[in-house]
Amino acid sequence: MSPKGSAPEKSSGAKQEAKMDKQWLLSVYQQMCYYRRFEERVLQAYTQQKFAGFCHVHIGQEALCVGVQRALRDTDYMITGYRSHTQAIAKGIPGREVFAELFGKATGCAKGNGGSMHMFSKEKRFLGGHGIVGGQVPLAAGVGFAIRYEKKDDIIVCYIGDAATNQGQFHEALNMAATWNLPVLTIIENNRYGMGTDIKRTTSIDHLWKRALAYDMDHGEVDAMNVIKTHEFVSDVIAKMRKTHRPYLLDAICYRYKGHSVSDPGLYRTKEEMGEWMAKDPILQLAEHLKKNKMATDEELKALDTKAKEMAKADEAWAEEQPVPPEEQVWQNVYAD
Ligand SMILES: Cc1ncc(C[n+]2csc(CCOP(=O)(O)OP(=O)(O)O)c2C)c(N)n1
Ligand SMILES: [Mg+2]
Q: Which DSSP string do the residues of 221-237 spell out, in sequence order? A: EEETT-HHHHHHHHHHH
How far is ligand 1, taken at its centre, from the CA of residue 69, in Å?
Answer: 23
How far is ligand 2, taken at its centre, from the CA of residue 191, in Å?
Answer: 5
Q: For the chain, what's the residue count? A: 337
- Phi-psi category of residue 123: left, alpha or beta, with phi > 0 → left and psi -120 to 50 → alpha: alpha
- Tell me what pLDDT residue 20 has: 81
Q: Whose CA is nearest to atom 14 of ligand 1?
A: 161
Distance of CA 153 to the CA centre of its chain: 22
Closest ligand 1 atom, residue 132 Cα:
26
| Ranges under pLDDT 70 in the chain | 1-7, 11-19
Establish whether residue 266 lines the binding site of ligand 1, counting it when its CB lies within 6 angstroms of any ligand atom. Answer: no
Q: Are 96 and 319 in contact (CB under 8 A)?
A: yes
How far is ligand 1, taken at its centre, from the CA of residue 181, in Å?
Answer: 28
Establish whether residue 164 lines the binding site of ligand 1, counting it when its CB lies within 6 angstroms of any ligand atom. Answer: yes
How far is ligand 1, taken at its centre, from the CA of residue 6, in Å?
Answer: 29
Write the CA distances from 237 to 206, 223, 232, 324, integer angstroms: 23, 15, 9, 42
Q: Whose CA is nearest to atom 18 of ligand 1?
A: 161
Q: Which ligand is nearest to the CA of 64?
A: 1
Q: Whose CA is nearest to atom 11 of ligand 1?
A: 194
Write the CA distances from 223 to 181, 253, 278, integer angstroms: 26, 5, 14
Q: Which CATH number fits domain 20-316: 3.40.50.970, 3.40.50.300, 3.30.413.10, 3.40.30.10?
A: 3.40.50.970
pTM for the structure as a whole: 0.95
Q: Whose CA is nearest to atom 12 of ligand 1?
A: 194
Q: Are 222 and 250 in contact (CB under 8 A)?
A: yes
Domain coordinates in residue numbering, the chain: 20-316
Closest ligand 1 atom, residue 165 Cα:
15
